[in-house]
Amino acid sequence: MIPVLPPTEENLRRAAEELAAGRLVSFPTETVYGLGANALDPIALARIFEAKRRPFFDPLIVHIAERSSLDALCARDARAEKLMDRFWPGPLTLVLPKTGAVPELATSGLPTVAVRMPAHPVALALIRMAGFPLAAPSANPFGRLSPTEAAHVRDQFRDTESLIAFVLDGGPCSVGVESTILSLEGDPVLLRAGGLPREEIEALIGPVALSTMDPERPDRPLAPGQLPGHYAPRTRLRLLEKPLTRDADGRPVPGSGMIFAEVMHKAGMKLGWLGLRDAFGSAPGPFAATEALSPSGDPREAAANLFACLHRLDRLGLDLILAEPVEEIGLGLAIMDRLRKAAAGSAVGL
């Protein structure tokens, strides 16, 4: 198994040494755990793709700890500076014109590079100690659930573990969904909904368009990680069209979602439930297991719990997970994006 180590001074130093030698170290960020490599070392970058079984057309995010590190990596304009002033360190990744110093493998040959300053003390300490930027995708095999705890990383990489030196344990991730990705190549375009709500970006820089796939090139979506089928649990997942109807005490009343669940249950299927609030208490009805993203319905808490809830349900050998939709405002946009992809991935068996 991949060792999971506490982020002591000594382990941070060891991690920096492993990274300098071209090896991979998984580290915590406020969004999800990353699988880090020296962003300026093409061989180290190749190991990321190998460990994740990730296609080379999916570019990486380069993580920095000081704004001055950007001078060597990318160009930045007034809009970028304004966004960095307000939201960095934090869950916002900016796609900017790159310099020649960034290896092609980090950007999949694109003329832009994705950069972010994570808001996690362990990530920042590690980048500073390493002395070079860290390329880091989420630390999960390609297309699978993102890790929000050190154990998620360890448990998902059993067969490629030798490529990963160790995981630095920074506890559970506070944001819990990946960073919001904003392209500033031209007019601002939201490439991935994430931990920073679109509304907060628009309040600062004005309208932000939503990305669309290029209909001519469905194999090359604008943000490659936006492929349907990303973030899929092994268990099939079905996203209901509407939230459950509840009575005055918050208990579910018969409606299309519950009727579907009852029918599947009677047919002998082992079902899981993923909902926003706790709807079932000690009487889970047709469900073998239930998870609530946030008992109080708080979107921040819901996003932070999303992947941990999915990981837990995924371990139970269920036949099907039913997921309840949430309202698509604020962090709800990122939560629904991940749930749709989980549902699409399970439909095509990714």
List of residues contacting ligand TXA (CB under 6 A): 29, 31-32, 34, 58-61, 93, 95, 107, 110, 112-114, 116, 118, 136-138, 178-179, 181, 191-192, 223-226
Choice between 138 and 290, CB closer to Mg ion: 138
- How far is it, in rounded angstroms, from Cα 245 to Cα 275? 12
Choice between 123 and 258, CB closer to ligand TXA: 123
Least Å from the CB of residue 34 to ligand TXA: 3
Out of Mg ion, ligand TXA, none, which partner does residue 95 contact, by CB within 5 to 8 A per kind? ligand TXA
Out of Mg ion, ligand TXA, none, which partner does residue 143 contact, by CB within 5 to 8 A per kind? none
Least Å from the CB of residue 137 to Mg ion: 5
- How far is it, in rounded angstroms, from Cα 12 to Cα 34? 15
What are the structure tokens assigned to 82, written together?
A: 């304004």
Least Å from the CB of residue 333 to ligand TXA: 15
The strand pair at 209-210 and 164-168 is best described as: unpaired
For residues 98 and 112, is the Cβ–Cβ distance under 8 A?
Answer: yes
CB burial readout 319-331, b (16+ within 10 A) else e: ebbbbbbbeeebb
Out of Mg ion, ligand TXA, none, which partner does residue 223 contact, by CB within 5 to 8 A per kind? ligand TXA
Classify residue 93 by burial, with Cβ atoms within 10 Å: 0-12, 13-18, 19+: buried
Out of ligand TXA, Mg ion, none, which partner does residue 113 contact, by CB within 5 to 8 A per kind? ligand TXA
Q: What is the DSSP string of 43-88?
A: HHHHHHHHHHT--TTS--EEE-SSGGGGGGTB---HHHHHHHHHH-
CA nearest to 335, candidates 276, 271, 280, 287: 276
Residues between 76 and 95 with contacts to Mg ion, criterion CB under 5 A:
none
Choice between 59 and 188, CB closer to ligand TXA: 59
Least Å from the CB of residue 305 to ligand TXA: 16
Residues between 125 and 144 with contacts to Mg ion, criterion CB under 5 A:
138
The alpha carbon dihedral of 218, 109, 60, 204 has a sign of: negative
The alpha carbon dihedral of 59, 65, 70, 73 has a sign of: negative
156 binds Mg ion per the rule CB under 5 A: no
Choice between 174 and 235, CB closer to ligand TXA: 174
Choice between 174 and 346, CB closer to ligand TXA: 174
Out of ligand TXA, Mg ion, none, which partner does residue 294 contact, by CB within 5 to 8 A per kind? none
For residues 99 and 115, is the Cβ–Cβ distance under 8 A?
Answer: no
- Strands of 287-292's sheet, edge to edge? 236-239, 320-323, 271-275, 287-292
Q: Which residue in the shown chain puts its C-beta closest to ligand TXA?
A: 225
Choice between 59 and 286, CB closer to Mg ion: 59
Choice between 7 and 257, CB closer to ligand TXA: 7
Out of ligand TXA, Mg ion, none, which partner does residue 337 contact, by CB within 5 to 8 A per kind? none
Choice between 18 and 178, CB closer to ligand TXA: 178
- How far is it, in rounded angstroms, from Cα 69 to Cα 342? 35
Contact residues: Mg ion, CB under 5 A: 138
